Chains A and B, each alone.
Chain A
Amino acid sequence: KQEVTQIPAALSVPEGENLVLNCSFTDSAIYNLQWFRQDPGKGLTSLLLIQSSQREQTSGRLNASLDKSSGRSTLYIAASQPGDSATYLCAGYMDSNYQLIWGAGTKLIIKP
């Protein structure tokens, strides 16, 4: 069964730090991958989508990469701000059945 692991489950860092969130799939046959953030009591906001032909995507202070050979994706947040505090989830489509598989999320707290 395909599973997604997000490490760490929770992270608390001071404002201004650069940080990396990780997402690992048990099966490396990932077709594409999407990163989301979820604020408490809110819906999920799409951050970045890495399509099958791409290896990374950038949006502002965010950079996401996908290494299909290892089944891993990282989300890099530069110069973190308190407004970045949220839960970050990754989700990937598998080659085999096009099911979208979700990670449990990383809860991020940026301390002012």
Chain B
Amino acid sequence: DAGVIQSPRHEVTEMGQEVTLRCKPISGHDYLFWYRQTMMRGLELLIYFNNNVPIDDSGMPEDRFSAKMPNASFSTLKIQPSEPRDSAVYFCASSRGTGNLPGELFFGEGSRLTVL
């Protein structure tokens, strides 16, 4: 399997622009997570999906952030409008559920976002 695939790997944009990050989870995985990582705050869970349904979006910082999972093989995280404080590495992770838990997490390589 190719693992979790994220795009773009790097994105540089100007404040106010819309940013869309994409993720393809591992085939057969029913959980998908979006994380953000910064030096100051470490890893933060933004939102996660189970069977394409958003389960917990309490980590989404503001209404400027939105995430969708239209099918089992694709998810997007959108920031509109972007701000400099959104600069971070955004990770997507997926897992196959065991019992009622998400199971072992596998991460993508991340999308490094810089908002000028």
B-chain residues with CB within 8 Å of residue A41 when the two chains form the complex:
112
Point out the residue from B42, B45, B91, B110 that lies within 8 Å of A100, measured CB to CB: B45
Q: Which residue of A lies closest to B42 (CB)?
A: A104
The proximity string for A residues 24-55 relative to B, scoring 1 for CB distances below 8 Å and 0 otherwise, is: 00000001101010000111111001010000
Q: Is the pair B101, A98 in contact by a Cβ cutoff of 8 Å?
A: yes
Residues of B within 8 A of A (CB): 4, 42-43, 45, 91, 93, 98, 100-110, 112
Q: How far is the CA of A46 from the CA of B101 in the complex (A)?
A: 17
Q: How far is the CA of A100 from the CA of B112 in the complex (A)?
A: 23
Point out the residue from B4, B101, B112 that lies within 8 Å of A32, measured CB to CB: B101
Q: Is the pair A102, B43 in contact by a Cβ cutoff of 8 Å?
A: yes
Q: Is the pair A46, B105 in contact by a Cβ cutoff of 8 Å?
A: yes
Taking chain A's interface residues, is the majority helix, strand, or loop, or is none over half, making it mixed?
strand
The proximity string for A residues 68-85 relative to B, scoring 1 for CB distances below 8 Å and 0 otherwise, is: 000000000000000000
Q: Which residue of A lies closest to B56 (CB)?
A: A99
Q: Is the pair A98, B43 in contact by a Cβ cutoff of 8 Å?
A: no
Task: Knowing A44-B91, A104-B42 are in contact, say whether A98-B109 is a contact too (CB < 8 A).
Answer: no
B-chain residues with CB within 8 Å of residue A42 when the two chains form the complex:
109-110
Task: Knowing A100-B45, A102-B43, A104-B42 are in contact, say whether A45-B101 is a contact too (CB < 8 A).
Answer: no
